Amino acid sequence: MSEALELKEKGNACLKDGKYHEALLHYSHAIKREPNNHLLYSNRSHVLLKLEQHFLALEDAKRTIQLDPKWPKGYYRQGQVEMAAGFFADACISFTQALALQPHDPTLHAAIQAAGGAARAQRAGDRQLPYLGAGVGIILGVLLVLADVFTPAPKLNHPVPQILLVLLVAGAGYGVCKAYRLYLAGQRRGLLQPPLDLLAGSSEASQADAPGEGEGAEPPPARHHKFTKAQARRRYRNGKR
């Protein structure tokens, strides 16, 4: 048995026992031994998703597909990450690609149905949420008007300001719910964004404090730590996590 296979089996055992961090280490070491083994990337994608590392899990799923485009589980892994991140329409596409390669798999049929239903519910919710907020605002505005009317000295004696108050509160409810919908969409996108390089600044500091650099020494070149998605993928594949 090869060393990579032994590490894979250890990772599988840890995954079965719920020891996700240990499984991640075993799979990562196995990948260093066999960097073109698509099964190892698939397994690591699965455990990274368990650890809620969506971006890294998606990168491993894509690497799995790249190494073996005809293996359906690579697309299934990709769909799992997209489902967990709330990209249900994308997940439905990934599951459909897997089904095209393995058309009689009941798991894939069920996954497509779940992703399709979730995508429809998400679209309906995105459309209806602002109007629901406006409806709640109308009710609240009417209650405010009634509360003012039944006071000893009402301030809104004319229908025009009363209507304006109701419309104002309804508009506020619409705006709040629409902003919340945009916030949720941003949260979903953030799950698949590259992680921050938190060690870059400390490495710069250690270089600046290194001995042997006199006053006349040239300063080290400036480094930029905001990586694009493509750069983050390359760093991740090279082991710079």
pLDDT in tens, 67-99: 999 999 999 999 999 999 999 999 999 999 999
Q: In this structure, are residues 32 and 20 in contact, taking their beta carbons and an 8 Å threshold?
A: no
Q: Which domains does the chain have, with CATH numbers?
A: 3-115 (1.25.40.10), 123-191 (no CATH)
How large is the average pLDDT for residues 193-201? 59
Query: What is the reported pTM?
Result: 0.69
* Per-residue pLDDT, 236: 56
**Residue 127, token pair as written in the block:** 């459309």
CA-to-CA distance for 68 and 91, rounded, in angstroms? 19
**Residue 197, token pair as written in the block:** 């390089």
Q: How far apart are the first and last CA of the chain?
A: 29
Most confident of 38-47, 141-150, 155-164: 38-47
